Amino acid sequence: MQNDSVIIANKLTKKFGHFTAVDAITFDVRKGEIFGFLGANGAGKTTAIKMMCGLSRPTAGEATVAGFDVNTQPNEIKKHIGYMSQHFSLYQDMTIRENIRFYGGIYGLRGKVIKQRREELIAELGIEEYANRRVEELPLGWKQKLAFSIAIIHEPEIVFLDEPTSGVDPITRRQFWNMIYEAAERGITVFVTTHYLEEAEYCNRVSIMVDGQLRDLDTPKALMDKYHKKNMNDVFVQLASTSTRTE
């Protein structure tokens, strides 16, 4: 195991009664990597992410995230990660400035720092004219970009993105991915799930979960070569259709 790994999972397992949602997955994610976490609906992705974010205790196995143990230091983990999902939209009835202030506050940033980051962020996104307006007035694509910027406002070591681009138009999606690249360049590790499989090809490495197990993990190119497919979609379909889970 390398020293620069920010996530190390070792036989991480979660059972609900007789049902094994996540079945002894072992992997590591390196610093500054864009790591794609793929799997069919019900393959156990969400459960795995919850464990890594310190929201759910593993039944067996262990994992460290940003150097902290998911079993014993879940609160430390929460301070060092960022999280955004398609459902996590900002507070619609608060202005953009208020949202940034609030999230800066809950991540423990000081008032002065928040103010400075906030103005930087508004300038970077080019949304000065919206800054004092309510989030609900913002187009969907910008909401998602803003949500991402806020998820990394405290410069976390890792940011978890759960289907961040669902339903967004193709140009905005690419602008979104540019922001992901920039974050990765700055050293923020990006852990992302998506249903757009060509997005999987933007990742440095991709893992594919089937029936709670990690079926394969490699660079997109290596995976396509290994399965003799011309894109990740076909690789995914081939692996995921081996699923025997009926539910």
Partner 1 sequence: MVRYENIGKSYEGYPAVSHISFEVGEGELFGLIGPDGAGKSTLFRILTTVLLPDEGHCFFDGHDVVKDYKYVRRNVGYMPGRFSLYQDLSVIENLEFFATIFQTPIEENYDLIKDVYKQLKPFEDRRAGALSGGMKQKLALSCALIHRPKVLVLDEPTFGVDAVSRKEFWDMLKNLKSKGVTILVSTPYMDEASLCDRVALIQNGQILMVDTPEGIIRRFDKRMYAIQTQRIYQALNALQEMYDWQAYSFGQEIHLYAPETIDPSSLTDRLKAMGIEDVSVSLGEPEIEDCFMDLMVSSNIAENAE
Binding interface with partner 1 (CB under 8 A)? 39-43, 126, 139-142, 163, 166-172, 174-175, 177-178, 181-182, 185, 195-198, 201-202, 220-221, 231-233, 236-237, 240-241, 243, 245-247
Cα–Cα dist 27/8, whole Å: 6
| DSSP strand pairing (158-162 vs 81-85) | parallel
> Which amino acid, 228?
H
C-beta of 68 vs 202, nearer to partner 1: 202
Is there a contact between 192 and 180 (Cβ–Cβ < 8 Å)?
yes
Is the Cβ of residue 157 or residue 163 nearer to partner 1 in the bound state? Answer: 163
Angle between helices 140-151 and 111-125 (to 10 degrees): 140
Least distance in angstroms from the C-beta of 141 to partner 1: 5
CB of 104 to partner 1, least distance (A): 25
Distances (CA, A) of 182 to 32, 93, 172: 10, 29, 15
The SS3 call for residue 128 is helix
- Could you tell me the smallest distance in angstroms from the CB atom of residue 246 to partner 1? 7
Q: Which residues contact 68 (CB under 8 A, 6 or more apart)?
A: 76, 77, 80
Closest distance to partner 1 from the beta carbon of 236 (Å): 5
Quick one: 53 or 210, whose CB is closer to partner 1?
210
Cβ 217 to partner 1 shortest distance, Å:
17
Which is closer to partner 1, CB of 8 or CB of 224? Answer: 224
Cβ-based nearer residue to partner 1, 33 or 104? 33
